[in-house]
Structure 1
């Protein structure tokens, strides 16, 4: 039976010459034998503690800001699992991992385990969300939070684009869908419908 496991890891986020302390959610989706890791922020041991003795079949990166991909190559080496990232994230990937080849390409509509990829640009050009219909959940990275859209004040981001992504790609999901975010608390599509539209 597919389930969601969760941990919070702490570290920093750096872009445009500024660095901030951040707490990141780590989401692991799978059954008792296999799982998919969503994002690889700060601590490989912290992620592996959530994984347990399961086989990691994929490391899916919602976008390439350093606080979401920093330990992805090390996690891939430790687990043998492939990394996946949307190709439009390459400029951001290169900022953190200039000497590491780009992960495998994610495409809109692709299915990885229980997760369907939804391309939701705005926070960054290749940002994606991951919809698990059988779980009634969507993993939104930094696209949608409790209280509205993710930040768009930095390089490679755009406010109008993220608002369109949320309106057209996320708010069309069932209102009871649980939103598991990249930072902070869960919410639901229904709860955010009015907020994100305002």
Structure 2
């Protein structure tokens, strides 16, 4: 028996670097699967901690919600050591190359689905925080893995290179807030939220951005 589908969180710590700045950050790494196989969502900072959480399970893929260095720190190493493809939207190639020049990844497309543990994760292309930001929707578990696109309290940051505020608002409005209100949002940093909790604030976010 493979056991029930479950979602596990591993919190890792390191640095985020972009545009000449460096910030200490804690990242959420998500494992989605059962007793036999698992998908790793984001490969942040600490390969050993992630590998220990995986255990003896088969890793279907290492999916990167975007290519900021703190979300892909150990992605190539994990992919090679666990014999799993590293998945990223190709629009984040330039960001990826800042951290892992020359390393290959498997390009993800919007609405593509990745099978794991008898269900499937759907890729939602949600540009704005970065050109290739992805969210992963798992309808069976009423779950969304939002990376840095949506947090409890608002959209992800858009004040640095490769980001755009109107674009992230469009992504959230059209592809995330249209999901069922009871969808749990598992974020790239910090505590989660629900689609229903964030939806009422869309107009406020838009006003705040002008």
Query: Where on the TM-score scale, by shorter chain, does this alignment land: which range?
Result: over 0.9
Could you tell me how far 1:197 is from its partner in structure 2? 3.4
Instruction: Give the match's secondary structure for 2:186.
Output: strand
Which runs of 4 or more aligned residues in structure 1 lie more than 2 Å from their structure 2 counterparts after TM superposition?
none
> How do residues 15-34 of structure 1 correspond to structure 2 at under 5 angstroms?
15-34=18-37
Question: How far apart, CA to CA, are the structure 2 residues paired with 1:41 and 1:162?
Answer: 22
1:173-198 deviation digits (Å, cap 9, x = unpaired): 00000000000001000001012332
Deviations 1:73-109 (A, max 9, x none): 11011100000100100000010011312x1110000
Corresponding residue pairs, total? 197
1:113-157, Cα deviation, whole Å (9 max, x unpaired): 221000000000010100000000000000000000000000000
Number of the residue aligned with 1:156: 162
> Is 1:142 equivalent to 2:148 in the alignment?
yes
1 CA distance for matches of 2:177 and 2:150? 10
2:176 is matched with: 170
SS state of the match for residue 182, structure 2? coil
Secondary structure of the structure 1 residue equivalent to 2:11: strand
Calculate the TM-score normalised by the size of structure 2. Answer: 0.92
Match of 1:47 in 2: 50
1:63 corresponds to = 66
1:130 paired with 2:132, answer no
How much has 1:21 moved relative to structure 2?
0.1
List alignment gaps of at least 5 residues for structure 2: 205-210
Q: Which residue of 2 aligns with 1:185?
A: 191
Rounded to whole Å, the distance in 1 between the matches of 2:9 and 2:55 is 12
Normalised by the size of structure 1, how large is the TM-score?
0.98
SS in 2 for 1:62: coil
Per-residue CA deviation, residues 33-88 of structure 1 (Å, 9 max, x unaligned), is 00000000100111112212211010010000000001001101110000010010
Query: 3-state SS of the aligned residue for 1:153?
Result: coil
Aligned equivalent of 1:100:
103
Higher Rg of the two aligned structures:
2
Which stretch shifts more, 180-189 or 47-56? 47-56
Q: Within 2, Cα distance between the matches of 1:154 and 1:173?
A: 28
Contact kept? 1:149, 1:196, Cα under 8 Å: no
SS of the counterpart of 2:13? Answer: strand
